[in-house]
């Protein structure tokens, strides 16, 4: 799957991205950690949303693969995430 194929409330079987930006990790309600990153492939850019332990695994310049994740439009931007049930692989 490519960035230009992502759909609002869509299922992501597998997508490979290069991370080009990483925001600061935020702690939100009762110890949950959240981090937004910017990922790209040869078709475009997308926000990558990671939670809890996944927030520490990925850095700018890494190549990642998300399997069995989800995509959605949030505040006018497409985002993708492995969510609770998906898998995140760092390829470096």
How many domains does the chain fold into? Answer: 1
**H or E segment to which residue 41 belongs:** strand 32-41
Which residues are CB-contacts of 43 (< 8 A; sequence separation ≥ 6)? 2, 3, 4, 5
CATH number of the domain to which 27 belongs: 2.40.50.140
Mean pLDDT, range 15-38, rounded to an integer: 95
Task: For residue 43, give its domain range.
Answer: 3-90
Q: Residue 29: is its pLDDT beyond 90?
A: no
Which tens digit of pLDDT belongs to each residue from 39-77? 999 999 999 999 999 999 999 999 999 999 999 999 899
Name the percent of the chain lying above pLDDT 70.
99
């Amino acid at each position: 799957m490519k960035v230009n194929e992502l759909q609002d409330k869509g299922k992501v079987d597998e997508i490979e991205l290069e991370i080009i930006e990483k925001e600061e990790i935020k702690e939100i309600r009762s110890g949950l950690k959240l981090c937004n990153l910017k990922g790209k492939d040869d078709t475009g850019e997308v926000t990558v949303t990671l939670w809890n332990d996944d927030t520490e695994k990925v850095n700018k310049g890494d190549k990642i693969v998300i399997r069995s994740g989800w995509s959605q439009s949030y505040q006018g931007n497409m985002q993708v995430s492995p969510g609770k049930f998906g898998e995140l692989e760092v390829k470096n």
